[in-house]
């Protein structure tokens, strides 16, 4: 298949693009900086210069491809609308990347929420996630009403080294950075809040499966286990040579430094189960747990 990927120099988009190349697909990717062209070409990815605001380029590339993987910005509604317009009536794939923070709460690290969400469990998003949920629904509606095989992906906390050009995941590097400042594994608030997680290689395989056979208007959580932030902090402490020592990062200080990102990314509970991935697509993740990876990989973000 010919597959066009946005966010191809990022952690998710770059990893997925390289994985799809290795699986035999013909992959092109949107890139803002021309200096990245050579690195992408070396991975077998055809670079396309442009941004998410270049509607003509996005439309042209979408029409030329068999599938579009949007992995650049979960909240950029205009680009999603451009892809839907370009692909309408084509029967082609539009896979939009969101995230499991859509089911998160505003715990600010203070408690463990018992609720665990499957792919179709109803939920009310926190204030800073309402727009993202609306975009997800827009994509799914296009799969019912506009002749597009649309798919929404909601990855959890992702770990593992990038498969593409150099890039880092979103949450773990900030926890590593704060842990270095403390000389101990850092966690927000009480640290008892929990997130599901997934290795980047298992996630990339799920993208491949979805592109090849996911039903239209489907939504997929991507997870292979979960951990509390105290557990993650303890593993980070061991990785950095702090002997398992851990320290709370007060919620107000984390939010003051990182903004609302801290509320939904490292302060919330986001506990999900990837039922659709396993049942509909036969996804069978293989990589080690997040704690094992942090403690044994040698990667110290």
CATH number, position 63: 3.40.50.720
Whether 206 is covered by a domain: the verdict is yes
Whether 79 is covered by a domain: the verdict is yes
The answer for residues whose C-beta is within 8 angstroms of residue 27's C-beta and 6 or more apart is: 3, 4, 5, 17, 20, 21, 44, 45, 46
pLDDT digits (tens, 9 = 90+) for 126-159: 999 999 999 999 999 999 999 999 999 999 999 9
For residue 186, which of 239, 148, 223 has the smallest C-alpha distance? 239
CA torsion, ordered 166, 170, 175, 176, to nearest 10 deg: -10
The answer for residues whose C-beta is within 8 angstroms of residue 25's C-beta and 6 or more apart is: 1, 2, 3
DSSP 5-27: EESTTSHHHHHHHHHHHHTT-EE
pLDDT of residue 301: 86
User: 119 lies in which domain range?
Assistant: 2-170+197-224+272-286
Percentage of the chain modeled with pLDDT above 70: 100
132 and 153 in contact (C-beta within 8 Å)?
Answer: no
Indicate the DSSP class of residue 127.
G
82 and 55 in contact (C-beta within 8 Å)?
Answer: yes
What gap in Å lies between CA 219 and CA 153, rounded to an integer? 6
Indicate the DSSP class of residue 189.
T
Whether 242 is covered by a domain: the verdict is no
pLDDT digits (tens, 9 = 90+) for 219-275: 999 999 999 999 999 999 999 999 999 999 999 999 999 999 999 999 999 999 999
Whether 153 is covered by a domain: the verdict is yes
pLDDT of residue 300: 86
Whether 87 is covered by a domain: the verdict is yes
Distance of CA 299 to the CA centre of its chain: 19
Total number of domains constituting the chain = 1
Indicate the DSSP class of residue 253.
H
Work out the mean pLDDT of the chain and round it to a whole number. Answer: 97
- β partners of residue 246: 185
Whether 91 is covered by a domain: the verdict is yes
Query: Could you tell me how many residues make up the chain?
Result: 301
């Amino acid at each position: 298949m010919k597959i066009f990927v946005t966010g191809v120099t990022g952690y998710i988009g770059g990893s997925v693009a390289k994985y799809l190349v290795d699986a035999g697909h013909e992959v092109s990717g949107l890139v803002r900086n021309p200096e990245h062209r050579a690195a992408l070409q070396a991975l077998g990815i055809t670079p396309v210069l442009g941004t998410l605001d270049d509607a003509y380029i996005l439309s042209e590339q979408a029409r030329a491809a068999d599938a579009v993987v949007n992995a650049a910005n979960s909240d950029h509604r205009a680009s999603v609308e451009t892809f839907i317009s370009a692909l309408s009536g084509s029967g082609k794939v539009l896979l939009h990347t969101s995230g499991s923070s859509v089911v998160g709460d505003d715990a600010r690290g203070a408690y463990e929420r018992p609720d665990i969400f499957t792919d179709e469990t109803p939920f009310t998003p926190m204030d800073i996630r309402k727009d993202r949920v609306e975009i997800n629904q827009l994509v799914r509606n296009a799969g019912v009403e506009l002749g597009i095989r649309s798919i929404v992906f909601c990855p959890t906390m992702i770990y593992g080294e990038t498969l593409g050009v150099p890039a880092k995941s979103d949450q773990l590097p900030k926890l590593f950075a704060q842990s270095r400042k403390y000389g101990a594994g850092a966690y927000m608030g009480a640290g008892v809040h929990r997130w599901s997680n997934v290795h980047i290689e298992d996630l990339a395989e799920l993208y491949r499966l979805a592109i090849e056979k996911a039903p239209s208007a489907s939504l997929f959580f991507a997870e292979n286990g979960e951990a509390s932030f105290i557990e993650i902090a303890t593993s980070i402490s061991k990785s950095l040579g702090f002997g398992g020592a851990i320290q709370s990062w007060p919620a107000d200080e984390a939010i003051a430094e990182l903004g609302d990102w801290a509320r939904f990314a490292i302060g919330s509970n986001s506990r999900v189960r990837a039922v659709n991935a396993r049942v509909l697509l036969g996804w069978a993740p293989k990589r080690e747990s997040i704690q094992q990876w942090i403690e044994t990989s040698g990667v110290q973000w």
